[in-house]
Structure 1
Amino acid sequence: MSTLGSGPRRVLALHCTLAFGGAWGGMVKLLGEDLTFVAPDMPSHGRSVDWDEGSSFADTVLAASLSVMDDAPMDVIGHSFGAATALRMAVEHPARVRSITLIEPVFFAVAMADAPDTMGDHDGRAQPFVDAMQAGDRALAARLFNRMWSEAGTWDRLPDRTRAAMTRAIHVVPDTHAFLYDDLCGLLEPGQLDALTVPTLLIRGEQALPAIAAVNDGLCKRIPGAVQSVIAGAGHMAPISHPAETSEAFASLLERA
């Protein structure tokens, strides 16, 4: 786990798949005098122990995230799978959450319900990754996953240790399918998202995949009072590629939380 910044207001920060808690460093450079980011590493990521491959990965991440929270409610920001976890946390443990900021949550059940055509685009892009995982080639799968969600050519610019870390973590992705696609936790059922009362911000990049745009739009429609911010020029990795713009949007939410 990383503890970043030195400000009085504490934020639980949940990173994306194949990253680690330190990925919030760009935002912390801009907000660290006002905020402290408590940023755990998901299992099989960063300095965390490996996922046991027997438990539900989504349940394990939620439990680990809750275990590092303060007793008092915290602002929660999440990116990608971390954002989907933050959303679940707000629904299932509302007393622990002061506000939620969801950056491109990969909660594809929303897109499947609202804009199923966008999932055809997503699934076509993801198929090479799926094939590599089924073939047992985790190194190739990590490269393809990174290519799908990051800007072109990113993998070739990464240090060997970062590629190795991504390859170590890639096996968690298939286990998240039931949570993200099938809504195993029932977040879309009546009385769940529509009952949220915490201030909520949805963030996506201007270049977000169509399915992600559908997820953000659908969550904004379902969560009372939720607002959305689109980061100009950004893709999926806005907290890292556009920390200033992402920080500005996040700070605006905190002012009203």
Structure 2
Amino acid sequence: MAFGGAWTGMAQALPELTLVAPDMPSHGRSADWDEISSFGETAFQATLAAMDETPMDVIGHSFGAMIALRLAVEAPERLRSLAVIEPVFFAVAKADAPELLSDHAIKAKPFSDAMDARDLETAARTFNRMWSDGGPPWDTLPERTRAAMTRAIHVVPDTHEMLFDDTLGLLEPGALDACTIPTLVVRGGASHPVMTATNDGLVARMPNATSAVISGAGHMAPITHPLDVAKAMGPLLALS
């Protein structure tokens, strides 16, 4: 529900890097998603088009981290290193800790109900409540911020099968388990238990992956704790 500018803190914490942060469809300055094409495919192709031909250090957060994982499997020659922060690849937790996924589904029901009713503002509010790590109440957010989240919220249901059912086949033999790109998997120390299971499952499956936990942070760690996240990435970026 953010835009490229959300990486400003990370950019300031990593001044030696040049960051390219494309806006996903229905986010920031990008055009709205058409609700016909696959949102995940559109975001993937747009990200691939924004990359240099030479290998890059790829950093992804949340759904962007899911796109980054797909890049690592389908275009490994374009990546020099990979850092994923709380990738919402719930198929991992579904395989390893299904009870946590059931709990997540209960917590997400108000969002699902609002989307079924096409009440986009309520859907954005409940989604923000779930993932904003106890941030400011919805009514205190600037109107522009609320409008941006409401504009973007319609993309979420289209990603469900990719995230929960692994329709990309990333958990199949020869995919992530064959990824040798130097990888860091990051989560917040105060994040959702389902994210802990997801991150741990990825580290267990990827042969060149290590993990980092950002103390006191939740899902929005790169925004709330950019210095800590940048510090955790230091060794990975030095290797690359």
TM-score range, shorter chain: over 0.9
In the alignment, structure 1 residue 243 sits paired with structure 2 residue 226: yes
In the alignment, structure 1 residue 89 sits paired with structure 2 residue 71: yes
Matching residue of 1:7 = none
Question: Which of the numbers 5, 8, 17 marks the counterpart of 1:25?
Answer: 8
Alpha-carbon shift at residue 157 of structure 1 (Å): 3.3
Please, which runs of 5 or more residues in structure 1 have no aligned partner?
1-17
Matching residue of 1:147 = 129
CA distance, structure 2, for counterparts of residue 229 and residue 156 of structure 1 = 34
Alpha-carbon shift at residue 153 of structure 1 (Å): 4.6
Contact 2:179 2:208 in 1 (8 A): no
CA distance, structure 1, for counterparts of residue 123 and residue 104 of structure 2 = 16
Instruction: Name segments (4+ residues, structure 1) moved above 2 Å.
Output: 151-157
Q: Secondary structure at the match of 1:38?
A: coil
CA distance, structure 1, for counterparts of residue 58 and residue 73 of structure 2 = 12
Matching residue of 1:175 = 158
CA distance, structure 2, for counterparts of residue 113 and residue 231 of structure 1 = 25
Percent same amino acid among aligned pairs? 63
CA distance, structure 2, for counterparts of residue 68 and residue 80 of structure 1 = 19
What pairs up with 1:1-257 in 2 under 5 angstroms? 18-32=1-15, 34-154=16-136, 155-257=138-240
Q: Once structures 1 and 2 are overlaid, which stretch shifts more, 20-29 or 154-163?
A: 154-163
Q: Secondary structure at the match of 2:184?
A: strand
Q: Return the structure number with greater helix share.
A: 2
Q: Once structures 1 and 2 are overlaid, which stretch shifts more, 166-175 or 113-122?
A: 113-122
Please, which runs of 5 or more residues in structure 2 have no aligned partner?
none
Matching residue's letter, 2:40: A
Contact 1:121 1:210 in 2 (8 A): no
Report the TM-score, using the length of structure 2 for normalisation.
0.98
CA distance, structure 2, for counterparts of residue 43 and residue 152 of structure 1 = 26
CA distance, structure 1, for counterparts of residue 165 and residue 177 of structure 2 = 19
Matched residues, number: 239
Calculate the aligned-residue CA RMSD, in Å: 0.8
Larger RCO (CA under 8 A, 6+ residues apart): 2
Contact 1:132 1:140 in 2 (8 A): yes
Matching residue's letter, 2:146: R
Contact 1:79 1:103 in 2 (8 A): yes
CA distance, structure 1, for counterparts of residue 44 and residue 231 of structure 2 = 27
Contact 1:202 1:226 in 2 (8 A): yes
CA distance, structure 1, for counterparts of residue 133 and residue 88 of structure 2 = 17
Contact 1:78 1:102 in 2 (8 A): yes
Alpha-carbon shift at residue 125 of structure 1 (Å): 1.0
Q: Secondary structure at the match of 2:23?
A: coil
Q: Return the structure number with greater strand share.
A: 1
CA distance, structure 1, for counterparts of residue 234 and residue 35 of structure 2 = 37
Report the TM-score, using the length of structure 1 for normalisation.
0.91
